[in-house]
Amino acid sequence: PALPQAVQQLGRWIGESGNALVYGGSKSGLMGLLADSVLAAGGRVTGVDPKCFLDAELQHEGLTELIVTEDIPARKTKMIELGDAFIAFPGGTGTLEEIAEVMSKVSLKHLEAPCILYDLDGYYTGLRMLLDHMIELGLSSKERQKGICFAKDLPEIQKILQSSL
């Protein structure tokens, strides 16, 4: 129950604060709920959907804008291109794959945007430990991981975003 509630809170804030959501365009799951929450709060939502999802009729119908890409890699590239900040909500392997690319681009300084892992109820504790372990082994550094942040709630997300402006 904490996940949908946190998603709706984040969506309301995005919509009410004048920010916009760019996401994968799905009508289902937590991301569909996030899009609905942003739209209900008067915000703009851009969905980026690969053709294969349109064929399966998985896209959200009420978006402000829908961008169709050839495939999933092009979708991820477009979402990264359009994003000013990246927030990874608890999710599955697709979320992990997407946020890993953002973390890599941030650490290589190919992307100047905060990468925030929404660590709701400690969901990303294991990933945080892995990143710390990389630093301990000399495979990464605090400097390289500077733009990768963990936030336990919306106020922490807001603080990270405000300090990155």
- The residue with tokens 């936030």 is 151
- Structure-token pair, residue 158: 């807001």
- How much is the pLDDT for 165? 65
Contact 73, 101 (CB under 8 A): no
List per-block mean pLDDT (blocks of 10 residues) for the chain, which spans 165 residues: 92 95 88 94 94 75 91 93 94 91 95 95 96 97 96 96 84
- Count of other CB atoms within 10 angstroms of residue 143: 9
Distance of alpha carbon 128 from alpha carbon 121, whole angstroms: 13
- How much is the pLDDT for 25? 84
Strands (E), the chain: 20-23, 44-50, 65-69, 86-88, 115-118, 148-151
- How much is the pLDDT for 56? 67
Distance of alpha carbon 42 from alpha carbon 56, whole angstroms: 28
Distance of alpha carbon 6 from alpha carbon 87, whole angstroms: 13
- Structure-token pair, residue 21: 């959501």
